[in-house]
């Protein structure tokens, strides 16, 4: 039996809205059989929000995580990244890329809310519904088209290495109360977006946070993952952990979903090289 291991490149700490210090994440990652681990706090944004790193903490974040990278050399591979918001004209993956080993690009905001501020579509459903009704007249199709258009715009104009939680906006669609994923217009948005991601050569993450926080399926859904496989877009498994105990949460189950879809390898950053590694529900193996 070949020894198996996990990787997770999407993790938060007390530098943003995660719990505990980066080193506590590293210790937990080692205990959970992680061989390569990426720090990816929410990068600073040039407007007020409750969960991103404050701009004045960025330098300390980079210094502390780079020091950990040295300290744990030969023990666990550590990579320094950020999850960067794409907000046109304000910030995107390229903003900090020069200082990092990798970037995760995520769309957490769609244009403006009722107060003219960036409209957060990643938070409480109450705020999402208020924006949907007051700014968009309840037109969910218009909002989703705009959400996926922003992801395409990011990938085309300011591509990250990794595209974050592709269909996370579905957190507001419990029991398909707002839209049906199988509808033609929605699948057309997905097809178009995957086409753009494939052309740009980005890695798509399969993110388990909805599984362990909200009892949802993977981001993105298995129906989307079938299209991802058909387009040969590389995928990686990420937890989007906000606490040490979440670093490999629901990975076995998500790996099973990926196997069932037909994936046989995952994209990882190991020994400083991006490579495809086979996996099963116990982990990756070389
Ligand atoms: Zn995110
Ligand atoms: Zn995240």
Residues β-bridged to residue 82 = 41, 103
Domain segments of the chain as ranges:
6-284
pLDDT value, residue 270: 98
Which ligand has the nearest atom to the CA of 10?
Answer: 2
Q: Could you tell me the distance, in angstroms and rounded to a whole number, from the CA of residue 9 to the centre of ligand 2?
A: 10
Q: Ligand 1 centre from 108 Cα, in Å?
A: 7
Q: How far is the CA of 3 from the centre of ligand 1 (A)?
A: 31
Dump pLDDT digits (tens) for 147-190: 999 999 999 999 999 999 999 999 999 999 999 999 999 999 99
CATH number of 6-284: 3.20.20.140
pLDDT digits (tens, 9 = 90+) for 49-92: 999 999 999 999 999 999 999 999 999 999 999 999 999 999 99
- Work out the percent of the chain whose per-residue pLDDT is above 90: 99
Reply yes or no on whether the pLDDT at 203 is more than 80.
yes
95: pLDDT strictly greater than 80: yes
Kindly indicate the confidence band of residue 268, based on its pLDDT and cuts at 50, 70 and 90: very high
Backbone angles phi, psi at 155, to 5 degrees: -65, -35
Closest by CA to 201, choosing from 168, 167, 236, 159, is 159
Query: Does the pLDDT of residue 122 top 90, yes or no?
Result: yes
Closest to 133 in 3D by CA, of 142, 122, 145, 124: 142
What is the bridge-based pairing of β-strands 109-112 and 118-120?
Answer: antiparallel
Mean pLDDT of 260-272: 98
Identify residues whose C-beta is under 5 A from ligand 2, the ion.
Answer: 83, 240
């Amino acid at each position: 039996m070949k020894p198996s291991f996990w990787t997770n490149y999407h993790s938060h700490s007390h530098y943003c809205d995660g719990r505990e210090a980066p080193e506590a994440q590293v210790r937990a990652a080692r205990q959970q059989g992680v061989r390569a681990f990426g720090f990816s706090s929410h990068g600073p944004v040039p407007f007020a929000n409750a969960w991103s790193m404050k701009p004045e903490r960025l330098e300390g974040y980079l210094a502390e995580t780079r020091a950990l990278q040295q300290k744990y050399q030969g023990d666990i591979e550590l990579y320094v990244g950020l999850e960067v918001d794409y907000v046109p004209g304000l910030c995107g993956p390229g903003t900090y890329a020069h200082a990092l080993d990798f970037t995760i690009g995520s769309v957490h905001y769609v244009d403006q809310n009722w107060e003219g501020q960036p409209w957060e579509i990643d938070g409480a459903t109450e705020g999402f519904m208020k924006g949907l009704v007051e700014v968009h007249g309840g037109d969910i199709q218009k909002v989703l088209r705009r959400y996926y258009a922003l992801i395409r715009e990011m990938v085309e104009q300011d591509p990250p290495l990794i595209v974050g939680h592709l269909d996370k906006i579905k957190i507001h669609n419990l029991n398909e109360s707002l839209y049906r994923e199988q509808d033609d217009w929605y699948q057309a948005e997905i097809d178009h977006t995957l086409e753009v991601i494939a052309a740009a050569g980005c890695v798509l993450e399969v993110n388990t946070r909805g599984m362990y926080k909200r009892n949802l399926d993977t981001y993105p859904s298995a129906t989307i993952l079938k299209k991802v496989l058909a387009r040969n877009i590389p995928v990686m498994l990420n937890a989007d952990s906000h606490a040490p105990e979440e670093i490999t949460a629901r990975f076995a189950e998500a790996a099973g979903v990926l196997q069932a879809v037909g994936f046989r390898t995952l994209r990882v950053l190991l020994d400083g090289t991006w490579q495809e590694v086979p996996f099963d529900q116990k982990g990756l193996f070389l």
